[in-house]
Structure 1
């Protein structure tokens, strides 16, 4: 285990300094909670919870004992003191006198005794923390523990591994009854250092933060050591694979078809992106002869179901170039998966005599030999969470199978968790941004207009593939966009006049996001000189300002057509296409050709729902116009440089951000194609109509 995951006195002291305004207990609770949360072998994406019992003052200044427990919506990896709502302890301990307590009564009862009624809801396992007497209580879903707890003889096995050091709690769904059962197990043997919850996870506790935390690490290490020493079979599916993955180009084409079928499915959830992982361990797991049987037994711990559904969809390995055959397989298997999910839902709703609103029936996780571990989500973040969970599920399965048989909870218990309102609340109600499931490719992304386009689409949630010539500047720009807008950004530096580079950009979009929705073909370069003296310059301009757009558009429609989601090609043309100026011929001729190219794509690909349009901007302060060029063009018109940028009907300067928003508006105009949209403040001579 890396040093970043272990207790460090200097780090602990720094937390005491950082949170000097809160109690020592809470500062150390934050410190060890983050240590746990940043170790993915222990905790993933909002999983696990921690608490500390301490003393605070109420509104009247009275000293009260409180339980500060992880609040809903907080992630242990990044938790702050406000993420531990304080609940007055004595009243909620008294709940243990009750024989039963509904979930609603439990939530309301706990909230009634919050010291701050504006605090987030305390964890659904608050009462379990409260009923234990220890000051610090830690709870995780450690992989190594689940490999033991997901066994047919899990209780006996855990006693063999831990002896009398850990109490064993049979599976009970989180809530009031689990809290009571856990407390009873502890009270039967108060010397235990923690609790193993079968099919669920592990609790450790102590009266100081360090001991509780280090007991967690010790018990997990003990489980790992035992598994290594008692493996009855090697971890089949974990050895070095035989390089079974397909080439990126074929993976990209297969994923685009999968994405299209998901998004177009009549019971789908709209636009989604795909993420694919292709590590050697995943590759080897996908080559197991029993892949379908072992992978569809169920989630490693029940609360994963809200992120991954109860089963993945396992597909047969596709042939590299048989993209239509793969699509046909996906259609058949999706139909089977949906039918099975409907049956699962109806069966358990009937048997449990409850009324629930069915969630969408499509898979979130796909296991595809030759392609990888693929996950779908309305956002990249959602798809990444599912991928993280399933990478660790693979680890749990491999470890569990090496010492016995991976045996997670049966479907009835998984149904309870999947349709439990308190569990669904963890997902939050925040609505994704309008373009969250969309993918846009922006060329010339480091220039003024390219940056404006990328920002306009990222602000609406679109995921981006960005390209430019300068690799270092492009990497910085990609990082800036991702940090500012919270979207996923792939960057590829290269020369768009090379057709193979354009093709590689489309492949990158497919491998990163499962497809492509918009090409924002912006890159270009200005050329000057008299038309009769610049034949070579014209040839270069045509390559940069016309043919490079053709190379990219041709590669894009090759993906968009079989993806069957429509698509949009937006070209940055110029007012020069309609109103050329003297000495600007090489540029104007190429841009006029670009307008014709746009119209040709609009004509030829409308049947596939692919739209093509152009933006005609004028006099934008970008790298296209250096200071000398601006001064010369202004002089020719008898203007100062600043006046040059405002020389239009409205007398207003047009910014790169204005152009970016125009690109976005055209993309959102779903019933418009073959249009030219001017962003120039008004120029009658350059107006296309």
Structure 2
């Protein structure tokens, strides 16, 4: 491992913060913390912590000795100065003198010592940082260190490589760990670092660069020690070809772990992230993969992201996917039963005070395909995948030396059901469409984009599908979704687009079949190719998109929602609008047949009948043209309804969202036009 220190970056980052009034020590600590946090070999997603002891002015203007330590919820890789809250140092150090202190009391007392009462909670290891008599302290969960310590003779290995380090047996983070480390440091005050078995490493110095580069040097030493082992310790049998793709099997996996909430047709789904590289495939293809995936976590907090262990699955034969899907569901059911038993026996041990979390696995290791990680959101799934990859790295390196040996299930349970983590979960509230994947055609602008924004605001992972490449990519980036270029009139292009949604998120739950264009003309005059183009875009695209999505929904077995944009032309035709109106009428019929055929799968199919919405479809030029056809002004044309108001794209988006959430409604048409008697459904 190499140092990432850069004098130029250091000077510019620190000076920029100092110019904003940030304490110089805190500015330096921000730079060095980011250096550590941006290396996934050292820490992942909120893991690890750092601190600096300095002097900061209190609210009354007096100088106070403080510890600025990483705050709860902050990621070291992107930390800002406010992510290192200042805690009064002397009273924080005095907390270690207590004989015992509950986690809740420790957090409460640490909060009382904050200079800024609005700051985040200091790290649960703040007391440990405070009692170590060094200005700069760095703590990571480096893969190389835990690969060494998570072995039957791990302590012997690290003592050999780090003779001057203080070695501490595993203790759960918090007050007790601070007490144990305090005793260990007093017994060996000349130690140059501290290694916590099956947890991580601390380095320190009065100089920030020395503390950082000592960390890097020690990780490099650990990596060199591991390099003496076997690089590829797993034996693998050849994978039988052909093997189904990630796109083929992701909906099956996703459906298998959906949680039945007891409400008809409303399961709690997960988003999936797929990963495959040589190291992952070596692990997934190992003859003993079933044993390896049950060994446990690399570091204790990983249990919060991927539970204690994952599920190993055989290579899926594309010709026998139904059989493979049955095996997956059986494996998940076994996992859930084992999880319940694990919870019950450990809950008895701690007094029966815990409430069980969901029992679903978070990682699948599929032979020949790779790993699939699950989370409530795409971000959570990516985090789980990162943690699973780190776990593979640690297990592989440990097996290359001797064998990977994780913490006991009791220790992992205590972290998974830690009261501090339970409190965080209790405060989290999911949005209505969190865990769901929504595909919006014609999503790069106008009504489609308005609907996509509403879906995202309600928590959905959004896939924008549009033929306009630059626009769809740009709008998807703004939304934090996926932009897919697609010609919705081409079956291959549609299949590819839905496949990309599945590959990105694991499946599809919601489809807004919205893409369309207003083809006009009199029946006696309009060219046949214009009529055919209208049918291709305004009818056939709906069939192609809904059919491909329904195939995915059938694999998932968790229902879904398809909503068609049919326009009022389907029920109230306008003059010289036959190419458009006839296609939309056909789309209305398609929706009703879809409701009949997809209903038994738990998929609702509905439509929105909207009129006179200013979008990319209804331009100002078109408004002028339709106004002339009706013999009214554009102003009166856009407000020619019972309410006398212009209908907006946001009004229509609300109707789409209503139908998505209406689990007991299918085959329905919801009119959004301000009131048009001729277009009323009857």
Instruction: Give the TM interval when normalised to the shorter protein.
Output: over 0.9
Q: 1:54: Cα distance to partner?
A: 0.9
Q: 1:643: Cα distance to partner?
A: 3.3
Q: 1:375: Cα distance to partner?
A: 1.6
Over residues 535-580 of structure 1, what are the superposed CA-to-partner deviations in whole Å (9 max), with x where a residue is unaligned?
Answer: 3321221111111111112222222233222222211111111222
**Do 2:255 and 2:269's aligned partners in 1 also have CA atoms closer than 8 Å?**
no
Partner of 1:486: none
Alpha-carbon distance in structure 1 between the residues aligned to 2:589 and 2:299: 58
Alpha-carbon distance in structure 2 between the residues aligned to 1:150 and 1:559: 41
Alpha-carbon distance in structure 1 between the residues aligned to 2:267 and 2:158: 41
Alpha-carbon distance in structure 2 between the residues aligned to 1:625 and 1:335: 51
TM-score (norm 1): 0.93
**Do 1:264 and 1:565's aligned partners in 2 also have CA atoms closer than 8 Å?**
no
Partner of 1:254: 249
Which 4+ stretches in 1 moved above 6 angstroms? Answer: 238-245, 266-269
Partner of 2:213: 214
**Do 1:239 and 1:281's aligned partners in 2 also have CA atoms closer than 8 Å?**
no
Match of 1:557 among 550, 556, 562: 550
> Is 1:235 paired with 2:235?
no
What root-mean-square deviation, in Å, do the aligned CA atoms of Structure 1 and Structure 2 show? 2.3
Partner of 2:120: 120
SS of 1:260's partner is helix
Partner of 2:484: 492
**Do 2:2 and 2:216's aligned partners in 1 also have CA atoms closer than 8 Å?**
no
Partner of 1:83: 83
Alpha-carbon distance in structure 2 between the residues aligned to 1:623 and 1:600: 29
Match of 1:474 among 469, 472, 475: 472
Spell out the pairing of 1:47-446 with structure 2 (5 A cutoff): 47-164=47-164, 166-228=165-227, 230-231=228-229, 233-236=230-233, 246-248=243-245, 251-265=246-260, 270-353=268-351, 355-425=353-423, 429-446=427-444
SS of 1:355's partner is coil
Range 217-226 or range 636-645, more displaced = 636-645
Partner of 1:609: 602
> Is 1:652 paired with 2:645?
yes
Q: 1:201: Cα distance to partner?
A: 0.3
Alpha-carbon distance in structure 1 between the residues aligned to 2:342 and 2:44: 27
**Do 2:193 and 2:203's aligned partners in 1 also have CA atoms closer than 8 Å?**
yes
Alpha-carbon distance in structure 2 between the residues aligned to 1:654 and 1:78: 43
Q: 1:276: Cα distance to partner?
A: 1.6
Residue segments in structure 1 that go unaligned for 5+ positions in a row: 483-488
User: Structure 1 residues 448 and 190, CA, compared in 2 at 3 Å: closer, same or farther?
Assistant: same
TM-score (norm 2): 0.94
How many pairs are equivalent? Answer: 677
Alpha-carbon distance in structure 2 between the residues aligned to 1:372 and 1:265: 27
Partner of 1:43: 43
Alpha-carbon distance in structure 2 between the residues aligned to 1:10 and 1:255: 42
Spell out the pairing of 1:447-596 with structure 2 (5 A cutoff): 447-482=445-480, 489-534=481-526, 535-596=528-589
Alpha-carbon distance in structure 2 between the residues aligned to 1:682 and 1:87: 62
**Do 1:237 and 1:281's aligned partners in 2 also have CA atoms closer than 8 Å?**
no
Range 650-659 or range 394-403, more displaced = 650-659
**Do 1:193 and 1:215's aligned partners in 2 also have CA atoms closer than 8 Å?**
no
**Do 1:272 and 1:437's aligned partners in 2 also have CA atoms closer than 8 Å?**
yes
**Do 1:244 and 1:369's aligned partners in 2 also have CA atoms closer than 8 Å?**
no
Alpha-carbon distance in structure 1 between the residues aligned to 2:506 and 2:190: 53
User: Structure 1 residues 435 and 650, CA, compared in 2 at 3 Å: closer, same or farther?
Assistant: same
SS of 1:199's partner is coil
Residue segments in structure 2 that go unaligned for 5+ positions in a row: none
SS of 2:671's partner is strand
